[in-house]
Homo-oligomer: A and B are copies of this chain.
Amino acid sequence: MNITLEQAQTAIEAAKKKSAEIGVAMNIAIVDSGANLTAFARMDGAWLGSVDIAIKKAETARYFDMETGEIGKLSQPGQPLFNIEHSNAGLITFPGGVPIKDINGDIIGAIGVSGGAVDQDHEVATYGMNAVK
């Protein structure tokens, strides 16, 4: 199963709403189950450098079917996946990327958010993910 554009846009609108609520301009990216870009939005004034980071967070979350922050713990110096970021033309492994599941628990895509502090990014990504039913 694959996320639909309608679901992706629902996630983006939810993420925009949460971002406005916490007062940060975010870049929001959705990839499908094949890790291909499905939808994207940069809120007015959001960091330009976060366009690529939001997309890479979404890709990274789907590449490994886990939240990006989890991979980040494993990629610290001395940890098992140190420097995994060199693969796949660049990963982003700090929080803000979250897999999206359907009602059966199957992963159908992922959301990546970038533009604030990493805990804000993660909060917004989780909120957007939860908007997909």
User: A residues bordering B, Cβ < 8 Å?
Assistant: 4-5, 8-9, 32-44, 47-53, 56, 59-60, 62-65, 72, 75-78, 80-95, 117-118
Contact = CB atoms under 8 A, between A and B. Distances in A.
Contacts of A41: 5, 8-9, 38-40
B37 A42 contact: yes
B37 A51 contact: yes
List 5 tightest A-B contacts by C-beta distance, closest first.
Answer: A34-B34, A49-B63, A40-B40, A86-B90, A85-B86
A47 B34 contact: no
Given A39-B42, A43-B5, A78 B76 contact: yes
Nearest to A35: B48
Contact of A39 (B34, B40, B75, B118): B40
Contacts of A9: 41
